[in-house]
């Protein structure tokens, strides 16, 4: 890697969660995904987590480290990721602040309550 190049934003996700892994795989196929460093926390070396992020925290919630070093988590990490992907940028801007971000965080927390059962079983979420 060129040491003069600015660092890429880094997304930390739980690749051991089938729902999470499937969603991240979809984002990785999007235009702009090459500008993001993707770290599967379930299988990475602890050194890849960087300052201020433990494996336990990274497995518990989605995290995005911005090039300036700031660490976003949960709904803010999703909104930050979406802003980086051209096809999703509109959603990141729409939901990335104020009451919409708080509503997205509430929905994400609900998902996190259901996720352990899916992770254990390796199953997909129920169809809507």
Tokens 């129920």 — which residue? Answer: 126
pTM score, whole prediction = 0.86
Distance between CA 117 and CA 47 in Å, rounded? 29
Residue 114: the pLDDT is: 85
Domain ranges of the chain: 10-121
pLDDT tens digits for range 52-96: 999 999 999 999 999 999 999 999 999 999 999 999 999 999 999
Q: How confident is the model at residue 119 (pLDDT cuts 50, 70, 90)?
A: low
Residue 120: the pLDDT is: 60
Tokens 């990335």 — which residue? Answer: 96
Phi-psi region of 25 (alpha: psi -120 to 50; beta: other; left: phi over 0): alpha
Strand pairing partners for 71? 65
Residue 72's closest CA among 104, 29, 30?
104
- Does residue 124 surpass a pLDDT of 60? no
pLDDT tens digits for range 6-20: 789 999 999 988 889
| Percent of the chain whose predicted confidence (pLDDT) is above 70 | 88
């Amino acid at each position: 890697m060129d040491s003069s190049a600015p660092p890429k934003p880094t997304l930390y996700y739980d690749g051991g969660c089938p729902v999470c892994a499937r969603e991240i795989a979809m984002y990785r196929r999007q235009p702009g995904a090459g500008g993001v460093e993707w770290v599967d926390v379930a299988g990475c070396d602890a050194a890849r987590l960087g300052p201020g992020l433990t494996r336990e925290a990274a497995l518990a919630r989605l995290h995005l480290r911005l090039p300036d070093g700031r660490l976003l988590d949960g709904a803010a990490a999703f909104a930050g990721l979406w802003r980086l992907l051209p096809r999703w940028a509109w959603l990141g801007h729409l939901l990335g602040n104020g009451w919409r971000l708080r509503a997205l965080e509430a929905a994400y927390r609900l998902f996190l309550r259901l996720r352990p059962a899916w992770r254990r079983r390796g199953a997909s979420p129920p169809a809507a």
